[in-house]
Structure 1
Amino acid sequence: MTTTISNSTLKASIKHAGAELSSLKNKQNKEFIWEGNPDFWGKHSPVLFPIVGTLKNNTYRINGKEYQLPRHGFARDLEFQLVDKTENSATFSLKSDDETIKKYPFYFELQLIYTLHEAALDITYKVINKNETKMPFSIGAHPAIALPDNFEDYAFEFEKEEVLQFSLLENDLVSNKTKILETIENLVPLNYKLFENDALVFKTLKSKSLTILKNLKPYVKVDFEDFPSLGIWTKEQAPFICIEPWFGYSDTPQNSGDLFEKEGVLILDANQTFTSKFSIQIL
């Protein structure tokens, strides 16, 4: 099932499965979200919760008890309920149940709110802790921006000039090794070699937005003001790029396994609500 919202400039479609953005088109009907061809990657923009990335041995502990979670958690694989809709906005909800408790022993509600403003789509996350105790979690986005034509026609421009140091992944975990992403006049020309070791993981950035340019002309801007970390990823020869605002990232090899001690994890107080937002702007 899919819900569509629109305004005078854009139209967005969101699948109820995973509350996943599956389409974002302008009034010329140009598509900006990856189609989800499984030959490359069968997703569009999955929601990452209650973890981002991979756990060591896909396992973590709470109060000494072990639990298993797959890469990026379970929210992307579950059915959300549409709880509010207007012409230009839609709110989806996922609530904990007997099955989620087996994997993640906390009562929660996760809301995703999609809102169109002129040429931008705002995506707001709300995480509601329904426990009388603190709740550890991570949350992140994974939108795949469609890049038609030649991949190397595209480049990134980060909001600020800075040393773009990223962490290297080893066996899907965040290693202690880092590299510097080279820039040319503050631009990062795209090529597939950048991703030969999987995603680029930026634990911290001064920049809070990133612009994709096509033939040096602005194409799409992703604004992630609320998010401390960022992943950037594609697959060999795939015509898309994922710009992924994150709270948290994969385990490090040194991780203790206790979710409360996980690097980058958020700790939400009892009966409190966490809110964050990012946006995709068509330029």
Structure 2
Amino acid sequence: MNMDNKALLKLGQKHSKWLESTNINLNAYKINNDSFFFVLYRGKWSTNIKGYAVISPDTDDREMALKALPPHVYYSVTENNIKDGAEMRVNLDFTIQKKLIGYLKSILDKGVLEGNNEKIYRRAYDTLNSMIELQDEMVRVWNEAEQIMNYVDEKGYFTDEEIERLIPYNIAINLIQYKQLKPRYEYCNDFDVIYQNRNSVKQYGTPIPDRMLKEMTSAVAEGELERSLDYLAGNTVVNNYSYDEIYDKWLAKFRRNLDELVEKDKKQLRFP
């Protein structure tokens, strides 16, 4: 920590209490070229937040400090959500899905399936292939969001424009995962048929362990898929809505949640 940051920490510690740690978001929000920083106070031996402050080394204007609170909440929550969600998701291993795609393709290419079986294998293939394509989109969206966050870190402050650019990425990342999981959940029974037929098509398919197919069946996978979809949807009803409509509903809800959080944080504000 350089001397400026040490002085900033000392300024933030003026509002700390006994046995608390002081954590400062070093990306400022500027009003009239004055920099305002968001401070979190936590218990020394816990991660529980005890209070907040908005401080400035440039001015003692309490009204301006209060105006800086909402942008700080918007940016910090959005940034943390993106990092917590996307960093893990972009590094997911799709090796099993790729092996299953190869297995299904090898059987489909042989032309040995008839009637409903051909439809089931084709749908399972398309579902898994779509998951891979959407993962490429996930990586692209993460890279774009990361560029914005890195740029903010480099210059040391964020603007209203950067908040507005970043918020939609938070929704896009969740929607991509929802798109990956929803068809897999809806047609989970397809793999029940594929698993049951494994021996009858064994001579045509690329070799694959039975357990890999079994893990895709509804008995094994359906519950986890349902929980993941419920988690992504939160308390928002999304059945029978298009993906565009879901995006709009989630975006509106996220903005409402941010505003509610601002009001909640105001009650724990120690300065101004």
| TM-score past 0.5 threshold | no
Higher relative contact order structure (alpha carbons within 8 Å, sequence separation ≥ 6): 2
TM-score, normalised to structure 2, is 0.22
Greater share of residues in helix = 2
